[in-house]
Amino acid sequence: MDTTKRDSAKQRKAKSIPVDSLLFPQLYRIMTAIYKRITSNFDALYTLWEHEKIHRKISFLLVIFFLVSASAIELKRQGLLPDSFAEMIPYSHFSAVQAAFTVVLILEVISLIFTIPCSFSRSVGKQFEILALILMRNAFLF
């Protein structure tokens, strides 16, 4: 049993291409270094993105964003905002809901980027989730 494992390891080692026999060994080394750097950066960002504290902070900021946008719309409706600032604020409260859904949609697209390399089935589920968010956001258009 040990001999077959050693034989298969030897076969795998024999199939690998030595760097010196490549046409451009320096380019191969550079590309390998770039690949390792990108992979380590991606892993660090993925770990940061999936951390529970980050999810809580994002959720809190999303609620604050919705409340501020709804408050700004209400202040415009009451006529308490200066005219120069009031021109940029929509009149309907549905715009605050649509803006919140847009931010959630952006966050879900970022999450999809991190999900695609990990699992095909999770990425397909994330795509359906994004489609549902788009449809829900469009329901608040006026």
| Whether the Cβ atoms of residue 93 and residue 73 lie closer than 8 Å to each other | yes
The tens place of each residue's pLDDT in the chain, 142 residues long, gives 444 444 454 454 445 566 665 677 888 889 999 999 999 999 999 999 989 999 999 999 999 999 999 999 999 999 999 998 889 999 999 999 999 999 999 999 999 999 998 889 999 999 999 999 999 888 877 5
- Domain span at residue 57 reads 24-139
Tell whether 91 is covered by a domain: yes
* CB neighbour class for 114 (10 Å; exposed up to 12, middle 13-18, buried from 19): middle
Tell whether 14 is covered by a domain: no
| Whether the Cβ atoms of residue 109 and residue 130 lie closer than 8 Å to each other | yes
Closest-CA residue to 69 (of 46, 47, 97, 50) = 97
Tell whether 94 is covered by a domain: yes
Tell whether 106 is covered by a domain: yes
Tell whether 9 is covered by a domain: no
**Numbers of helices and strands, H then E, in the chain:** 6, 0
Q: For the chain, how many structural domains are there in total? A: 1
